Structure 1
Amino acid sequence: MDIERRNNVVVTGNPQGRTVVLAHGFGCDQNMWRLTVPALVRDYRVVLFDYVGSGRSDLSAFSEDRYASLDGYARDVLDVCAALDLRDAVFVGHSVSAMIGVLAANTAPERIGALVMVAPSPRYIDDEDYRGGFNAEDIDELLESLESNYLGWSATMAPVIMGNAERPELGEELTNSFCATDPGMARVFARTTFLSDSRDDLKKVSVPTLVLDCTQDVIAPREVGAFVHQAIEGSTLITLNATGHCPHMSAPEATNEAITGFLAGLR
């Protein structure tokens, strides 16, 4: 299989620099990184891709069985790494992709040598002493609404996820991205995302890791960022002066500064 075509892989930037892989979240595609790429291309080789079922990926390669767990998406990441023969790459994952990156790095640390986790959440549902931000009933209602009327759900939820109500164009862009995703494939990705529990996987991370959270995020509250930071030994936590769940779109300068600062400190 042509992995580069399957996952719509784009390689840009400095071919002599360390490779940085940018991975999008649920309902998005690689275009969501367009404000980050310019901050990286001078010094780093940048790899962008779309998960199967998203963006301009090969939709015929979609398998509900494969993508019913985050492992399937991690396999996409590792397939891309193998196709490009990446070694010691830095994986930058937004939202659920942060956890996908954890799985990929734990499986093949020779491929992924560092992680940047943007607005990560290892579990969205509250559990005893853990606060994920939602109770089980919240998630059940969210998924039922998504499955019964995906376009209506997208129009309602995307602006909430994005935050920054005073900048409605951001919410509109995320809405359009959600609506451009095949509803059936989005349903699978949503269930995989919101029902996953990757807390135990965090403890296995052995590569340098930067955790970025936001001052206000309804999807991944600050308690979640703190949990991720505490679970990954030696990680760095930076709370961005940003609101919403997509700081690389709403606060790109702060996000890019944090990422490039971390990259500069890597050996």
Structure 2
Amino acid sequence: MNIQQRNNVQVQGAGPATMVFAHGFGCDQNMWRFVARHFSQRYRVVTFDHVGSGNSDLSAYQPSKYAELAGYADDVLEIAAATAQGPTWFVGHSVSAMIGMLADLKSPGTFAAHMMIGPSPCYINDGDYIGGFTREDVESLLDTLESNYLGWASSMAPAIMGVPERPELGEELSASFCRTDPEIAKQFAKTTFLSDSRKEVARLQTPTLIVQSSEDLIAPLAVGEYLQRTLPHGMLRVVANTGHCPHLSAPGPTCDAIEEFIDALPRR
């Protein structure tokens, strides 16, 4: 199957490096429009939709493959191989930050850097680890998704987005959730919220930026601090923002954090 069609791959801009942008659960590549537009002025920018999201080819969805984050990581490696020129930097939002990490570990050298926006290696609290949710919280969330996905999407999207003074962003996220096939969304939610990639974090040798909102319902600050402590080459930048999508609600500070990180990368 054609990768470009399968994942609705779009390429814009040109430059000495390639930035591959991967969206989170319930979203699509349009969520990157502010940040991608900024960096496409100087770099080759690749955006895409995970299979089952946005304008991807729904016929390519395989429940067995996408029951694990590794299935999405395999797609990322194929997209990078087909589109990248020069050093390749992976920019992943939320669960896609871990998808990019798994792709890197499977094929070391594919990515020269990672920019993780609101990442979380595990959403469930475990001993001293604070993921933001109890197991009961997650089970309740998944039960609600199973029984009333559209209702959950409409009510939760504004809370996830934050910035109540800009309700149009919450409405945009809600619409994005509602456009996703409910059955695929339910499985992606299970794959996301039950995932635990903490054992892999310490293995990632690639320079990594963690961009964390100061207030985030999905990935609390403690998660960003954990990643900074655990990643061998991690840098944490906290953006003054309420919500899980700073690339939409605070694109300027998010771009500034990425620019600072890029400037500090070793030059080849």
SS of the equivalent of 1:116 reads strand
Q: Secondary structure of 1:131's partner?
A: coil
Matched with 1:171 is 170
Q: Does 1:76 align with 2:80?
A: no
**Structure 2 counterpart of 1:60:** 59
CA distance in 2, matches of 1:99, 1:155: 26
* Aligned counterparts of 2:150 and 2:81: Cα–Cα separation in 1: 36
Name the structure 2 match of 1:233: 232
Q: Which runs of 4+ in 1 moved over 4 A?
A: none
Q: Match for residue 94 of structure 2?
A: 95
Q: State the identity %.
A: 54
Please give the TM-score of this superposition, normalised by the length of structure 1: 0.97
- List aligned pairs for 1:151-190, cutoff 5 A: 151-190=150-189
TM-score norm. by structure 2 comes to 0.97
Could you tell me which residue of structure 2 aligns to residue 194 of structure 1? 193
Instruction: Give 1:86 shift.
Output: 5.0
The number of residues matched between the two structures is: 266
For residue 258 of structure 1, report the CA deviation from its aligned partner. Answer: 0.8
Question: How far does residue 85 in structure 1 lie from its aligned partner after superposition?
Answer: 5.2
Alignment partners' CA distance in 2, 1:86 and 1:153: 40
Contact 1:40 1:260 in 2 (8 A): no
Whole-angstrom CA distance in 2 between matches of 1:232 and 1:222 = 15
Consecutive unaligned residues of structure 2, counting only runs of 5 or more, are none
Asked if 1 retains the 8 angstrom alpha-carbon contact of 2:16 and 2:86, the reply is no
Residues 43-88 of structure 1, C-alpha deviations (whole Å, 9 max, x = no match): 1100001110000000000000000010011011011112225553
Instruction: For 2:38, give the aligned amino acid.
Output: A
Map Cα deviations across residues 89-120 of structure 1 (whole Å, 9 max, x no partner): 10000000010011011112221111000000
Question: CA contact under 8 A between 1:53 and 1:181: conserved in structure 2?
Answer: yes
Given that residues 118 and 213 in structure 2 are in contact (C-alpha distance below 8 angstroms), is that contact kept between their aligned partners in structure 1? yes
Q: CA RMSD in A?
A: 1.0
Alignment of 1:7-86 (within 5 A): 7-14=7-14, 16-84=15-83
Distance 2:92 2:59 in 1: 24
Letter in 2 for 1:13: G
In structure 2, C-alpha distance between the alignment counterparts of 1:44 and 1:263, rounded to whole Å? 12
Q: Which amino acid aligns with 1:240?
A: V
State the Cα distance separating 1:195 from its structure 2 match: 0.2
